[in-house]
Every structure is written in structure tokens, then in C-alpha cells.
């Protein structure tokens, strides 16, 4: 467990945060530019000291200002991956990777050179210089170098932010594999929601130097009181399992706690797990079972709550399908016209099941 409490002040900005991150898996620090994400990473790495605070990794205290403890960065065993890979340009990829290994303390355990090379798919790059690599390849080498230093904690400061969409899509699955193979806590800074969806086991939402909420991303995605709900792509993050492929009909069936969804045919094998975002704008409701309609996903649900959606003349419906909560964003006019109220039964029409934010939950690879 990584526990972080830090308070510090810059002109015009105050940071006052407290949160805990699980001992394994990715904890994402998510929030708008300037909310304090990098300041927190720097405090954990020991690159900048907060005015007050306590940071501990399991039973190792990295910082405790009250007890005047502040381990130097090299004693903290944190490895950091930045936006830019920061590889040594005059060394081959292999020498860059072996440089990481030289930083590993004697007796530290972790994946060996060959395992890391295979995990990140960089075997064919070993003899090359960083200058000739694509941005995505460089980032994979930087991830390898960080892992080979056998850290106790991996820090990632927007590792995909400098890559174009194609390269991001190339590196994202490697990050998921690294998360699953490394069994390390990873503190990951981003402001990209698709990275949250693909990687986060735990989410810390930040605003103006404060923690607004933290918890499992699936749970936070149902909260309409958080800034996430104001986004155009707001909606619940839903863990699903591929139940069947029906090639003749060109569809796959996905199961979730409380129901099934039909999608166009998916490439993932039957039994695989995925996590997808069902956008609130893509969910409509009907008070009677619709017939003669092209929408494939029509699921019976109960209205749990109706809450205003920002300034607009719209509301969020919290819909329960068994234990699963879905969000629908509809107009106030529709609520009145259909006589919707908490406790009422409706049919939820899922107009689109999009996979552009699909991610793999931990252990699902």
C-alpha cells in the first residue's frame, strides 16, 4: 500500500491531498491541467519536498516531515517514466536497458532482461539507437528500462501524452501487460479518459490541489456529482465478459452483472473480460417495451434516481439492472412527458456500444 499525505504551497496554488493506492496495479491521478498531479509524483519520487506530509510504501517511510525523515530519491526505489522517453541517444537500446539493470539494488527481485524484452516486444530493437525509433518504440524501451531497475514503485507522468493516436493505441496494451506482469504499484498521471478506462484499478480524482474522490473507476463512473459527469463522453464503465460469437448474425454477446449486451462481432475470444464505457448520451428510455425498432439492446431497468445534469435542461437517470447501475442522459421534458420517477420501471435502450475506450481489467489478458 502506498499512502500519500502532502501539503505544499506555490504562489497561487495550494496542494493538500491524502489518499492510498493499492500495493499492486495502476492508481491513476486524474484531473485538469494544473491540479497538482506532477507535484504529487515529484513528492513521491523525492524530487521535490512538500512543506508537510507523510509518504509511505508498505512499512517503508519515504517522507515524514513531522519526524524529519526524507529518503533521498535513489533510496526510494521509484522508477519514473516521463512523456519523453529520455533514453541515452549515444547508447543502443540494449545498453539503455542494461543501464536500468545496473541501477537495481543487489538482491532485488523482478522480471529478468529477457522477460522484459519479450513483455514489451522490443527484442528486434536491441541493436538500434534511440534516434531511429518511433515515439511508441522509445516509450516501450523507457518502460523496460524503468522495470529493469527493479523498483518498488513505478511512477508514470503522462507516458502517452507525446504520442499520436496510432502510437498511443500501440503502447497502451503493453502498459496493460506491464501492469499485470510487474505486480508493482504504479502511480500514473494522465488527463486522458481512455487511459483511465484501459488501465486504472484505482482512481484519484483531483481538482485545484485537492482530492475530490477516490475509489474503483467503475464506482466513480456512476457518480453524477463529480466533474467526470460533465464530460460529453460521461457514462458508466462496465466490466463485461464475452459470452458468445454468433458469426451468422455478425454479433457477439457480452455479459455483465445484471444483463447482456449485443454488439457487432468482436475479435476477443469467448470468455475474455473487457471494460467498456456506456455513454449516458447513448442510453434512452421507454416506459413500454419498444417493438419494431433497430436498437438491439433493450433492457428492463428500475429508476433509482433522477438528478440535474449541469446547467443544461437535461437530467441523469440512474438506472439499476440487477446490481449494475447505468446512466442515461435525457431532457427534463422527456421526464415530464413520460412521467418518470424514482422507483419506476423502464426499458433502457442502448443506442450504441462503443469500444473506443474499451480496456482490459487487471488479470484479463
Ligand X SMILES: Nc1ncnc2c1ncn2[C@@H]1O[C@H](COP(=O)(O)OP(=O)(O)OP(=O)(O)O)[C@@H](O)[C@H]1O
User: Which residues form the interface with ligand X (CB under 6 A)?
Assistant: 10, 13, 31, 33-39, 191
- Pick between residue 34 and residue 342 the one whose CB is nearest to ligand X: 34
Closest CB 162 distance from ligand X, rounded Å:
12
DSSP symbols for 204-220: EEEETTEEEEEE-HHHH
Closest CB 13 distance from ligand X, rounded Å:
4
Are 210 and 230 in contact by the 8 Å Cβ rule? The answer is no
- Pick between residue 38 and residue 95 the one whose CB is nearest to ligand X: 38
Report CA torsion sign: 278, 282, 288, 290: negative
Are 175 and 360 in contact by the 8 Å Cβ rule? The answer is no
Instruction: With CA atoms as reference, report the closest residue to 28 among 194, 222, 240, 168.
Output: 194
- Pick between residue 13 and residue 88 the one whose CB is nearest to ligand X: 13
- Pick between residue 11 and residue 336 the one whose CB is nearest to ligand X: 11
Closest CB 294 distance from ligand X, rounded Å:
41
Torsion of CA 129, 130, 132, 133, to 10 degrees: 130
> What is the rounded distance in angstroms from the CA atom of residue 51 to the CA atom of residue 10?
10
Q: Quick check: helix, strand or coil at residue 73?
A: helix
- Pick between residue 34 and residue 132 the one whose CB is nearest to ligand X: 34
Report CA torsion sign: 295, 301, 302, 306: negative
Closest CB 15 distance from ligand X, rounded Å:
7
Q: Quick check: helix, strand or coil at residue 326?
A: strand
Closest CB 103 distance from ligand X, rounded Å:
25
- Pick between residue 34 and residue 271 the one whose CB is nearest to ligand X: 34
> What is the rounded distance in angstroms from the CA atom of residue 317 to the CA atom of residue 224?
10
Number of H helices, E strands in the chain: 9, 20
Which residues are 320's β-sheet partners? Answer: 302, 325
Closest CB 253 distance from ligand X, rounded Å:
39
- Pick between residue 37 and residue 54 the one whose CB is nearest to ligand X: 37
Closest CB 210 distance from ligand X, rounded Å:
12
Amino acid at each position: 500500500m502506498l499512502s500519500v499525505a502532502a501539503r505544499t504551497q506555490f504562489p497561487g496554488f495550494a496542494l493538500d491531498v491524502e489518499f492510498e493506492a493499492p500495493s499492486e496495479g495502476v492508481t491513476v491521478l486524474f484531473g485538469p491541467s494544473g491540479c497538482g498531479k506532477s507535484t504529487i509524483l515529484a513528492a513521491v519520487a523525492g524530487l521535490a519536498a512538500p512543506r508537510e506530509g507523510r509518504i509511505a510504501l508498505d512499512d517503508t517511510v519515504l517522507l515524514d516531515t513531522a519526524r524529519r525523515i526524507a529518503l533521498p530519491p535513489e533510496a526510494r526505489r521509484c522508477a519514473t517514466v516521463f512523456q519523453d522517453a529520455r533514453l541515452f541517444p549515444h547508447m543502443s537500446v540494449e545498453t539503455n536497458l542494461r543501464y536500468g539493470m545496473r541501477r537495481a539494488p543487489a538482491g532485488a527481485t523482478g522480471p529478468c532482461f529477457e522477460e522484459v524484452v519479450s513483455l514489451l516486444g522490443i527484442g528486434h530493437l536491441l541493436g538500434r539507437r534511440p534516434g531511429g525509433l518511433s515515439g511508441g518504440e522509445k516509450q516501450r524501451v523507457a518502460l523496460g528500462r524503468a522495470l529493469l531497475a527493479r523498483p518498488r514503485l513505478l511512477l508514470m507522468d503522462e507516458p502517452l501524452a507525446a504520442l499520436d493516436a496510432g502510437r498511443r493505441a500501440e503502447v497502451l496494451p503493453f502498459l496493460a501487460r506491464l501492469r499485470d506482469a510487474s505486480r508493482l504499484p504504479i502511480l500514473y498521471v494522465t488527463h486522458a479518459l481512455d487511459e483511465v478506462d484501459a488501465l486504472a484499478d484505482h482512481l484519484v480524482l483531483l481538482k485545484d490541489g485537492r482530492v475530490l474522490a477516490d475509489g474503483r473507476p467503475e464506482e466513480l463512473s456512476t457518480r453524477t456529482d463529480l466533474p467526470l459527469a460533465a464530460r460529453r463522453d460521461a457514462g458508466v464503465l462496465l466490466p463485461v465478459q464475452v459470452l458468445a460469437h454468433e458469426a451468422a448474425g455478425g454479433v457477439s454477446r457480452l455479459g455483465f452483472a445484471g444483463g447482456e449486451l449485443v454488439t457487432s462481432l468482436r475479435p476477443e475470444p469467448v470468455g475474455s473480460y473487457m471494460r467498456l464505457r456506456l455513454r449516458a448520451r447513448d442510453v434512452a428510455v421507454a416506459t413500454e417495451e419498444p417493438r419494431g425498432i433497430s436498437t438491439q439492446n433493450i433492457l428492463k431497468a428500475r429508476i433509482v434516481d433522477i438528478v440535474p445534469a449541469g446547467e443544461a435542461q437535461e437530467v441523469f437517470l440512474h438506472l439499476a439492472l440487477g446490481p449494475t447501475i447505468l446512466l442515461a442522459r435525457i431532457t427534463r421534458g422527456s421526464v415530464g412527458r413520460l412521467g418518470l420517477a424514482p422507483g419506476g420501471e423502464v426499458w433502457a435502450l442502448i443506442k450504441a456500444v462503443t469500444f473506443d475506450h474499451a480496456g482490459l481489467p487487471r488479470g484479463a489478458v
